[in-house]
Amino acid sequence: MPTDYDRFQTIRSQTLQRIEEITASPKPTYQVGDQRVNWQEYVDSLRQTVAWCDCHLADGSPFEVHSRGVTDEH
């Protein structure tokens, strides 16, 4: 079963892939009836998703603590 860390990694990876696809062949902003499609706004929202994932990955990433042993000498 995937962990939350794995899920954030997957979301981040898929989102970066989508950004790459969109920016490889940019499309113009257009409107059909009442619906407006702004590709730059969409890419910006995808970048926010990547940043959101990065925050969660940083919070859950493994870390190492280096310390010096403390002796209790009285």
CA distance 13 to 4: 14
Question: What pLDDT, on the 0 to 100 scale, is given for residue 1?
Answer: 85
Report the b/e string of 36-45 with b at 16+ CB within 10 A.
eeeeeeeeee
Torsion over CA: 26, 27, 28, 29 (sign): negative
Question: What pLDDT, on the 0 to 100 scale, is given for residue 27?
Answer: 87
Question: What pLDDT, on the 0 to 100 scale, is given for residue 4?
Answer: 87
Residue with the bigger pLDDT between 49 and 56: it is 49
- For the entire predicted model, the pTM comes to 0.72
